[in-house]
């Protein structure tokens, strides 16, 4: 590439109060992960490069399709069938002289997310599935890495910043009830390329603030953009008192009939979300790490220690064991129900012992 002078290249940013010369140097040492390099992510990548962010990590498992080409402008017709991240890395590298790019053709899930986000300062959520978002958000929440969410469909878009501050709502408070629904996909409802540029413009403006240690504006407010009416409005969100992600689990027994939610960190594993059915001595535990057990193998492992674990019921996708007066049902996804334990502490201890037992005996095989 032709010799380009850093100061000359970015000279138009120096008079800006939002960046300035000092800010420009800071950006050079920042690392941003872009989750998804499709309609939103390709625009985000170009804007972050234009601003002079020094390090980008691109993650997407998808390949380029014909219908991507009108709005995903990093990709050309000859790229159809190639991995998006590889082409994006290549094009951005040719176009922008001051950026280092790392790319992962990977699926983001509970297992990969904590690894992918290691060492990054900020995550740009440019995904199109809420199930994937959930894994990414949860990993970012645990690692305290801010995430800026953006979504677009048809002629509308929305965005919000999640900085994990204890006063601000987390993604689960705001988006926890949304599930992927085929009726809401871009393939069915379409997507206007113009809305992508508008929402990502706002998204990267929030990114710039976070990267330059300024306060982001959308940590309690979702911004909604309607292209057809050119209306932009704000919806205020509060932290949910019952959120199982951002409230530490409170161990008091609670009133019979109440449902309490919270999270707890298990050493060596990660965080678990706990739902407590007050008055029923029942706790439902949902681990944040990815589990996909073959129940038959788990049953075999548990049978090796009949003194410790007494198997009472088994099914294709679950097994129930009796330990210390408690009944523990494990689903193949790792979601576990502990019944009849005397306290939350006992339920967590039994669960942790069981996880350690399975882990130890699986590693030893
Ligand atoms: Zn929350």
Q: Are residues 93 and 230 in the same domain?
A: yes
> Residue 165 falls within a domain, yes or no?
yes
Q: What is the CA(51)–ligand 1 centre distance, in A?
A: 31
> Residue 292 falls within a domain, yes or no?
yes
**Digit-coded pLDDT (tens) for 272-326:** 888 888 888 899 999 888 888 899 999 999 999 888 899 999 999 999 999 988 9
**Digit-coded pLDDT (tens) for 218-233:** 999 999 999 999 999 9
> Residue 243 falls within a domain, yes or no?
no
> Residue 309 falls within a domain, yes or no?
yes
Q: Are residues 150 and 225 in the same domain?
A: yes
pLDDT, the chain, mean: 91
> Residue 209 falls within a domain, yes or no?
yes
**Residue 364 pLDDT grade (very low, low, confident, very high; cuts 50, 70, 90):** low
Q: Are residues 286 and 326 in the same domain?
A: yes
Task: Tell me if residue 325 falls in helix, strand or coil.
Answer: coil
CATH of the domain at 274: 3.30.310
| Parent domain of 87 | 6-236
Q: Are residues 263 and 335 in the same domain?
A: yes
Q: What is the CA(247)–ligand 1 centre distance, in A?
A: 7
**Digit-coded pLDDT (tens) for 314-349:** 999 999 999 988 999 999 999 999 998 888 889 999
Greatest Cα-to-Cα distance within the chain, rounded to the nearest angstrom: 74
**What's the pLDDT score for residue 124?**
98
**Residue 110 pLDDT grade (very low, low, confident, very high; cuts 50, 70, 90):** confident
Q: What is the CA(164)–ligand 1 centre distance, in A?
A: 9
In 3D space, the residue among 54, 59, 53 whose CA is nearest the CA of residue 34 turns out to be 59
**Digit-coded pLDDT (tens) for 4-50:** 999 999 999 999 999 999 999 999 999 999 999 999 999 999 999 99
> Residue 273 falls within a domain, yes or no?
yes
Asked whether residue 252 carries a pLDDT value surpassing 80, the answer given is no
- Tokens representing residue 347 in the block: 């339920």
Q: What is the CA(173)–ligand 1 centre distance, in A?
A: 4
Contact 184, 153 (CB under 8 A): yes
Q: Are residues 168 and 308 in the same domain?
A: no
Q: What is the CA(6)–ligand 1 centre distance, in A?
A: 42
**Digit-coded pLDDT (tens) for 148-189:** 999 999 999 999 999 999 899 999 999 887 877 756 777 778
**What's the pLDDT score for residue 1?**
66
Contact 52, 211 (CB under 8 A): no
Q: What is the CA(239)–ligand 1 centre distance, in A?
A: 6
Domain count, the chain: 2
**What's the pLDDT score for residue 182?**
56
- Measured CA to CA, the distance from residue 254 to residue 97 in angstroms comes to 59
Q: What is the CA(148)–ligand 1 centre distance, in A?
A: 15
CATH of the domain at 174: 3.40.50.720
Q: What is the CA(175)–ligand 1 centre distance, in A?
A: 9
Q: What is the CA(163)–ligand 1 centre distance, in A?
A: 11
> Residue 249 falls within a domain, yes or no?
no
């Amino acid at each position: 590439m032709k010799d380009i002078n850093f100061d000359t290249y970015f000279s138009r940013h120096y008079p800006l109060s939002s960046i300035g010369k000092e800010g420009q140097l800071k950006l050079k040492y920042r690392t941003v992960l872009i989750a998804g390099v499709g309609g939103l992510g390709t625009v985000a990548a170009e804007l972050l490069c234009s601003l002079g962010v020094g390090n980008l990590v691109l993650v997407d498992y998808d390949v380029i399709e014909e219908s991507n080409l009108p709005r995903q402008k990093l990709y050309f017709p000859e790229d159809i069938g190639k991995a998006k991240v590889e082409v994006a890395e290549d094009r951005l590298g040719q176009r922008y002289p001051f950026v280092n790019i790392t790319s992962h053709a990977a699926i983001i899930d509970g297992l990969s997310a904590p690894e992918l986000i290691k060492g990054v300062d900020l995550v740009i959520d440019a995904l199109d599935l809420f199930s994937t978002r959930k894994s990414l958000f949860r990993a970012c929440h645990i690692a305290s890495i801010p995430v800026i969410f953006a979504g677009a469909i048809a002629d509308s878009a929305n965005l919000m910043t999640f900085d994990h501050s204890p006063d601000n709502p987390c993604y689960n408070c705001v988006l926890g009830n949304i599930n992927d629904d085929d009726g809401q996909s871009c393939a069915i409802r379409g997507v206007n390329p113009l809305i992508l540029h508008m929402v990502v413009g706002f998204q990267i403006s929030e990114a710039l603030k976070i990267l330059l240690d300024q306060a982001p504006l959308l940590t309690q407010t979702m911004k909604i953009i309607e292209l057809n009416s050119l209306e932009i409005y704000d919806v205020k969100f509060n932290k949910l008192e019952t959120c199982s992600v951002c409230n530490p689990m409170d161990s008091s027994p609670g009133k019979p009939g109440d449902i309490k939610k919270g999270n707890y960190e298990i050493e060596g594993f990660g965080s678990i979300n706990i739902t407590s059915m007050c008055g029923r001595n029942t706790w439902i535990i949902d681990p944040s790490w990815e589990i996909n057990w073959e129940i038959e193998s788990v049953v075999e492992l548990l049978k090796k220690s009949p003194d410790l674990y007494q198997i009472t019921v088994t099914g294709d996708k679950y097994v129930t064991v009796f330990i210390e007066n408690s009944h523990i049902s494990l689903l193949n996804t790792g979601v576990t129900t502990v019944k009849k334990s005397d306290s939350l502490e006992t339920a967590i201890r039994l669960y942790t012992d069981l996880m350690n037992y399975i882990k130890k005996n699986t590693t030893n095989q």
